[in-house]
A and B are shown apart, each in its own frame.
Chain A
Amino acid sequence: SQTIHQWPATLVQPVGSPLSLECTVEGTSNPNLYWYRQAAGRGLQLLFYSVGIGQISSEVPQNLSASRPQDRQFILSSKKLLLSDSGFYLCAWSRQVGNQPQHFGDGTRLSIL
């Protein structure tokens, strides 16, 4: 069966510090990978998605970037965090883009001080 892992589960960072969140998927090959942000009490906003190694599409211009160095690894980064980067970050995978279910990890709660 397929599993998705995100770490860390919680993170507290000062403004201006760098960020690296990691997501890995097991049990499947060539998944589509996604990063979402969820504000408190709100729906999910798609930040980035990737259909293959090195292929990143950005949905929302912002202070964040994503990379996919390996088939089942997806990384969310920032060089300098802003207060507005606080939120709940979720990674997801699907077998293909479009009308297929997406499966989510348990997220990282990021607080910027």
Chain B
Amino acid sequence: QQQVKQSPQSLIVQKGGISIINCAYENTAFDYFPWYQQFPGKGPALLIAIRPDVSEKKEGRFTISFNKSAKQFSLHIMDSQPGDSATYFCAATARQLTFGSGTQLTVLP
């Protein structure tokens, strides 16, 4: 049972554009929603996270939008740069982290 559904599977964006990755969850017990960035051959690194009592969190060029009623959350990368090219995972946790299937982002120079 896939409890966190992530889309798109891959995304190509021009430099300076906005990258948007979406996730939907089913378990209403989830209470923490992190996003991870993973470069090839490396472990995932925590990028930004949100708790369900807020609808938006911004850190630099990265913003999480959270819609509790729709059970959806998304990552927006503003002014996307080639260095942002990586795989991004959304996740959600009640007791343990449940990961989405990942989005491979390519930012073209």
> Interface residues, chain A, CB within 8 Å of chain B?
6, 41-44, 46, 49, 59, 90, 92, 97-107, 109
Contact = CB atoms under 8 A, between A and B. Distances in A.
Contacts of A92: 43
A106 to B, nearest CB: 5
B102 A42 contact: yes
Given A44-B99, A46-B97, A49-B96, A100 B44 contact: no
A97 to B, nearest CB: 6
Interface string B30-42: 0110101000011
Interface in B12-70: 31-32, 34, 36, 41-46, 49, 51
B72 interface: no
Contact of B51 (A6, A44, A99, A105): A99
Interface of B: 6, 31-32, 34, 36, 41-46, 49, 51, 89, 93-97, 99-102, 104
**Prevailing SS type, chain A contact patch:** loop
B34 A101 contact: yes
A98 B42 contact: no
A98 B94 contact: yes
B47 to A, nearest CB: 10
Given A90-B43, A100-B32, A43 B100 contact: yes
A90 B23 CA distance: 23
A101 B44 contact: no
Contacts of B43: 6, 90, 92, 104-107
A49 B96 CA distance: 9
Given A44-B99, A46-B97, A49-B96, A98 B32 contact: yes
